[in-house]
Amino acid sequence: LQTMSGNEDDWLALKPQEPSPSQCCGSGCKPCIYDVYEKELAQWERAKAKKDKSLLMEKKEQSNNSELNPDTFTAFNISSVEQLTEDTYQYKFELPGNSSLQLSLGQHIVLRGVVNGLEVQRAYTPISPGNAEGYFEVLMKCYEAGLMSQYIKTWKKGDMVFWRGPFGGFPYRPNKYGELLMLASGTGLAPMLPILQSITDDEEDETFVTLVGCFRTFDKIYLKPLLQDLARYWNVRIFYVLSQETSLEKLPWSYQENTYIGRLAEDLMKMIINSCRRKPFVLICGSSAFNEDMNRYLKAAGIEENSCFVF
């Protein structure tokens, strides 16, 4: 009898743990962390019924082959850490050889962190081109009280970090839309950049792009040199909306004519839409409050829901 109960404890120790709500990134991933848990639980139950622990081994092997995978977390090395603003960082991760993540446009990947023994998962969109070889880059904002932020703040060059994916994405095809209107708040800029870069890299793609970046202050605008470069293309316009700047006069003159002080509200939205060269298809990425506001203003400006995509 003794051996039986010991054996029972062994099996319990191997039982997959049900994810806590903080582990789900809420982005509608397929498979979701809960789907992965169900699959692992079924695998555990089969193994236990057959009293065969080797049936649990397959999931352990997958994560060593440093290829991104939607079902299992894979370890990637941090090759550089760059602070962009007081609370925003750009991290570069190594990919083996010349391999690339092969992400479709705007796809996100899910990060796993452990904070005070609690596992947390969050979705991030790499800002590097999907075909970048040997590396990928992610823009991350650290919040004072954020669980994941506490984990991210400890990162140093050479650390190992676990990702899985890719998920979601916006099915962009060249010349499918006359004009894309991109509404991004803060790090919501991330999924817009690969799409914007794919348009400017493709001489055959004549899609117009109007990007509206909403930030608190001028200092909080990320990746200014990259955005300035993109704004030089004939088919790209970039506007900034700064909610906590007091006057345009403090800004460099090259920013004054395409920057608005205040919030992106209904009147400004109508003005931007009216200035679009063709009827826009709208991409939105920001906090849930930002996304809701944008949807409301777009509706008021006569843009139907089927002409919008929210990341």
pLDDT tens digit sequence for 10-42: 777 777 777 766 667 666 777 777 777 788 788
CA 110 to chain centre: 8
Average pLDDT for 229-258: 94
pLDDT at 65 over 60: no
Q: Which class is 17-51+69-168 in CATH?
A: mainly beta
- Residues contacting residue 163 through CB under 8 Å, at least 6 positions apart: 68, 73, 74, 76, 93, 109, 110, 111, 112
Give the span between the Cα atoms of 80 and 92, in whole angstroms: 5
In one-letter notation, the amino acid at residue 67 is: E
User: Residue 101: is its pLDDT beyond 80?
Assistant: yes
Query: Residue ranges per domain, the chain?
Result: 17-51+69-168, 177-308
The number of residues making up the chain comes to 311
pLDDT at 98: 83
Full-model pTM: 0.76
Query: Residues near 65 by Cβ (< 8 Å), separated by ≥ 6?
Result: 74
Q: What is the pLDDT of residues 181-202, one digit of tens each?
A: 999 999 899 889 989 999 999 9
Q: Which residues are annotated as a binding site?
A: 122, 124, 139, 141, 148-149
**CA–CA dist 235, 247 (Å, integer):** 28
Classify 177-308 by CATH class.
Answer: alpha beta
Binding-site annotation: residue ranges for FAD: 122, 124, 139, 141, 148-149
pLDDT tens digits, residue range 205-237? Answer: 999 999 999 999 999 998 999 999 999 999 999
Instruction: Report yes or no: 94 and 79 within 8 Å, Cβ to Cβ.
Output: yes
Strand ranges in the chain using DSSP code E only, listed in sequence order: 74-85, 88-94, 108-115, 118-124, 135-141, 160-167, 179-185, 208-215, 236-242, 259-261, 280-285, 308-310
Alpha helices in 92-158 (DSSP H): 147-152
8 Å CB contact between 235 and 199: yes
Closest CA to 197 of 88, 106, 89: 106
Residue pLDDT, tens place only, 102-130: 888 878 899 988 877 777 888 888 988 87
pLDDT tens profile 148-167: 888 898 899 999 999 988 88
